[in-house]
Amino acid sequence: MEGLQVETSSGKAAGAEFEIRGGWWEGLHVLVFYTAVTCAVLSTLGVARLATGIAAVVLLFYSILAIFSSPTYLVVDGESRALVLERYRFFIPFRRRLARQELESLELEESPYLPGEEGEGEPGGRLSYRVRLHLLLKDGREMKLFRSGLTGSPSDNRTRAFLIAETLSRQLGLPVNYRQAEAGDHGAGE
């Protein structure tokens, strides 16, 4: 959701694999999870105790199963220089292959406030740093590959985004377009 996390792991000698976190599927089931928490609280307060208690348990286990069993991976096939998007929904795989000819470029967007080094005290404590990495397709669509979140420090998110962009650029021969958002552009890339 808020923090689309991408974890890298070494694949074949000329390939790579990235886990993409977030998206509408995960966001929907995080909402279901919080609905379960709300039902649990209402149950303890005595509001339709039996119905909200049962709903809390069912929704809680459903949301945890849905999020756990539904990861999305982006796999770089080093031999054919293609991307394979693997989405799982309740452990059922859905694969989409993107040939190199369909890919245009990568776009890396940072907020205007760059993160300082660890330990540096910035005035006002700039926690509003964000970085996004998108894959632009030749048909005009874009795919979110990375979006910084609340789970890592700004410098860690920045390093991770730049490493992913550099790896994909090198392995697929894609240009990287770097852009820094304007100071008042809070919703850029959403």
Total-model pTM: 0.68
Contact indicator for 4, 22 with CB cutoff of 8 Å: yes
Lowest-confidence pick of 3-12, 67-76, 83-92: 3-12
Contact indicator for 171, 78 with CB cutoff of 8 Å: yes
Q: What is the mean pLDDT of the chain?
A: 79
Q: What percent of the chain has pLDDT over 70?
A: 80
Task: Choose one of 66, 98, 130: the last residue of a domain.
Answer: 98
* 50 and 133 co-located in one domain: no
The CATH number assigned to the domain holding 190 equals 3.30.420
* 187 and 122 co-located in one domain: yes
Question: What dihedral angle (degrees, nearest 10) is formed by the CA atoms of 47, 50, 51, 54?
Answer: 120
Asked if pLDDT for residue 22 goes beyond 80, the answer is no
Q: What is the pLDDT of residue 4?
A: 34
Looking from the CA of 113 toward its CB, the CA atoms found within 13 Å total: 14
Q: Which domain holds residue 107?
A: 102-190
